[in-house]
Amino acid sequence: MIAIGCDHAGVELKKYIISELSKKGFEFEDMGTDGEPCDYPDMAEKVCRKVTEGACERGILICGTGIGMSMAANKIKGIRAALCADSFSTKFTRLHNDANVMCMGARTMGPGLAAELAEIFLTTGFEGGRHQRRIDLITALENK
Protein backbone atom coordinates (compact mmCIF):
# COMPACT_ATOMS: atom_id res chain seq x y z
CA MET A 1 0.00 0.00 0.00
CA ILE A 2 1.25 3.45 -0.96
CA ALA A 3 0.14 6.55 0.95
CA ILE A 4 -0.44 9.48 -1.36
CA GLY A 5 -1.42 13.03 -0.56
CA CYS A 6 -1.31 16.54 -1.93
CA ASP A 7 -2.25 20.09 -1.26
CA HIS A 8 -4.81 21.88 -3.44
CA ALA A 9 -2.20 22.47 -6.19
CA GLY A 10 -1.65 18.75 -6.68
CA VAL A 11 -5.16 17.31 -6.79
CA GLU A 12 -5.32 16.57 -10.52
CA LEU A 13 -1.81 15.13 -10.64
CA LYS A 14 -2.54 12.91 -7.63
CA LYS A 15 -5.70 11.58 -9.32
CA TYR A 16 -3.76 10.89 -12.51
CA ILE A 17 -1.00 8.98 -10.71
CA ILE A 18 -3.53 6.87 -8.80
CA SER A 19 -5.44 6.14 -12.00
CA GLU A 20 -2.39 5.18 -14.07
CA LEU A 21 -0.51 3.16 -11.46
CA SER A 22 -3.60 1.36 -10.17
CA LYS A 23 -3.83 -0.17 -13.65
CA LYS A 24 -0.38 -1.65 -12.99
CA GLY A 25 -1.41 -3.23 -9.71
CA PHE A 26 -0.32 -0.57 -7.21
CA GLU A 27 -2.67 0.11 -4.31
CA PHE A 28 -3.02 3.56 -2.80
CA GLU A 29 -4.38 5.05 0.36
CA ASP A 30 -5.50 8.53 -0.68
CA MET A 31 -4.88 10.88 2.24
CA GLY A 32 -6.42 13.89 0.49
CA THR A 33 -6.90 16.67 -0.29
CA ASP A 34 -9.68 16.44 -2.82
CA GLY A 35 -9.59 20.11 -3.67
CA GLU A 36 -10.30 21.94 -0.47
CA PRO A 37 -7.56 24.39 0.50
CA CYS A 38 -5.10 22.94 2.97
CA ASP A 39 -1.61 23.45 4.28
CA TYR A 40 1.06 21.19 2.79
CA PRO A 41 2.81 20.49 6.14
CA ASP A 42 -0.42 18.91 7.42
CA MET A 43 -0.70 16.69 4.34
CA ALA A 44 2.97 15.74 4.56
CA GLU A 45 2.48 14.64 8.15
CA LYS A 46 -0.60 12.53 7.33
CA VAL A 47 1.22 10.63 4.57
CA CYS A 48 4.50 10.28 6.46
CA ARG A 49 2.80 8.92 9.59
CA LYS A 50 1.34 6.12 7.49
CA VAL A 51 4.88 5.26 6.38
CA THR A 52 6.54 5.53 9.80
CA GLU A 53 3.76 3.51 11.46
CA GLY A 54 4.19 0.76 8.86
CA ALA A 55 0.65 1.02 7.49
CA CYS A 56 2.07 1.95 4.07
CA GLU A 57 5.33 0.89 2.46
CA ARG A 58 6.10 4.25 0.85
CA GLY A 59 4.60 7.67 0.34
CA ILE A 60 4.06 10.14 -2.47
CA LEU A 61 3.50 13.84 -1.81
CA ILE A 62 2.54 16.50 -4.34
CA CYS A 63 2.38 20.28 -4.02
CA GLY A 64 3.05 23.11 -6.47
CA THR A 65 6.81 22.61 -6.63
CA GLY A 66 7.38 19.60 -4.37
CA ILE A 67 9.82 21.66 -2.32
CA GLY A 68 7.51 22.51 0.56
CA MET A 69 6.35 18.91 0.87
CA SER A 70 9.92 17.62 0.91
CA MET A 71 10.95 20.13 3.57
CA ALA A 72 7.98 19.25 5.78
CA ALA A 73 8.30 15.50 5.27
CA ASN A 74 11.97 15.46 6.22
CA LYS A 75 11.10 16.93 9.63
CA ILE A 76 9.39 13.66 10.55
CA LYS A 77 11.62 11.12 12.23
CA GLY A 78 12.15 8.07 10.05
CA ILE A 79 11.34 9.79 6.79
CA ARG A 80 13.83 10.14 3.97
CA ALA A 81 11.93 12.24 1.44
CA ALA A 82 13.34 13.21 -1.92
CA LEU A 83 12.20 15.79 -4.44
CA CYS A 84 11.98 13.83 -7.69
CA ALA A 85 11.97 15.58 -11.05
CA ASP A 86 13.96 13.26 -13.36
CA SER A 87 14.33 9.51 -13.81
CA PHE A 88 18.02 9.27 -12.85
CA SER A 89 17.62 11.03 -9.50
CA THR A 90 14.40 9.15 -8.77
CA LYS A 91 16.08 5.79 -9.39
CA PHE A 92 19.16 6.59 -7.35
CA THR A 93 17.30 8.07 -4.42
CA ARG A 94 15.91 4.57 -3.96
CA LEU A 95 19.07 2.62 -4.86
CA HIS A 96 21.48 4.65 -2.72
CA ASN A 97 19.39 6.68 -0.27
CA ASP A 98 16.52 4.28 0.45
CA ALA A 99 14.08 7.19 0.23
CA ASN A 100 10.68 6.17 1.56
CA VAL A 101 8.75 9.25 0.39
CA MET A 102 8.90 10.96 -2.98
CA CYS A 103 7.82 14.55 -3.52
CA MET A 104 6.79 16.08 -6.83
CA GLY A 105 5.69 19.44 -8.15
CA ALA A 106 2.37 19.61 -9.96
CA ARG A 107 3.40 22.94 -11.48
CA THR A 108 6.82 21.75 -12.61
CA MET A 109 6.06 18.60 -14.62
CA GLY A 110 3.41 16.99 -16.73
CA PRO A 111 1.31 14.04 -15.67
CA GLY A 112 3.05 11.52 -17.93
CA LEU A 113 6.45 12.21 -16.43
CA ALA A 114 5.02 12.24 -12.91
CA ALA A 115 3.46 8.79 -13.35
CA GLU A 116 6.69 7.47 -14.88
CA LEU A 117 8.75 8.78 -11.95
CA ALA A 118 6.30 7.38 -9.42
CA GLU A 119 6.58 3.95 -11.05
CA ILE A 120 10.39 4.14 -10.96
CA PHE A 121 10.26 5.12 -7.29
CA LEU A 122 7.88 2.30 -6.41
CA THR A 123 9.69 -0.45 -8.34
CA THR A 124 13.32 0.35 -7.51
CA GLY A 125 14.84 -1.39 -4.51
CA PHE A 126 17.55 -0.32 -2.11
CA GLU A 127 21.04 -1.67 -2.90
CA GLY A 128 22.13 -1.75 0.73
CA GLY A 129 25.81 -2.60 1.16
CA ARG A 130 27.99 0.47 1.51
CA HIS A 131 24.89 2.64 1.22
CA GLN A 132 23.41 1.22 4.42
CA ARG A 133 26.23 2.78 6.43
CA ARG A 134 25.22 6.19 5.09
CA ILE A 135 21.58 5.60 5.92
CA ASP A 136 22.70 4.70 9.43
CA LEU A 137 24.62 7.99 9.61
CA ILE A 138 21.51 9.90 8.55
CA THR A 139 19.53 8.11 11.25
CA ALA A 140 22.19 8.99 13.81
CA LEU A 141 21.89 12.67 12.84
CA GLU A 142 18.15 12.42 13.23
CA ASN A 143 18.52 10.93 16.70
CA LYS A 144 20.88 13.61 18.06
Q: How far does Cα 83 stand from its chain's mean position?
A: 8
State whether the Cα torsion 96-99-105-106 is positive or negative: positive
Q: What is the Cβ-side half-sphere exposure of residue 46, based on CA atoms within 13 angstroms? A: 18
What pLDDT does 43 receive?
98
Task: Quickly state the pLDDT bin for 4 (edges 50, 70, 90).
Answer: very high
Domain residues for the domain of 24 are 2-143
CA-based radius of gyration for the chain: 14
Instruction: Give pTM, 2 decimals.
Output: 0.97
Share of the chain above pLDDT 90, in %: 99
- The total domain count for the chain is 1
Kindly report, residue by residue over 78-128, the tens digit of the pLDDT: 999 999 999 999 999 999 999 999 999 999 999 999 999 999 999 999 999
Sheet of strand 28-30, all strands in order from the earlier edge strand to the far edge: 28-30, 2-6, 58-63, 101-105, 81-83
Residue 114: its pLDDT value, please?
98
What pLDDT is recorded for position 96? 98
* Mean pLDDT of all residues in 55-65: 98
Mean pLDDT, rounded, for 46-57: 98
Q: Which residues are catalytic?
A: 63, 96
CATH code (residue 7): 3.40.1400.10
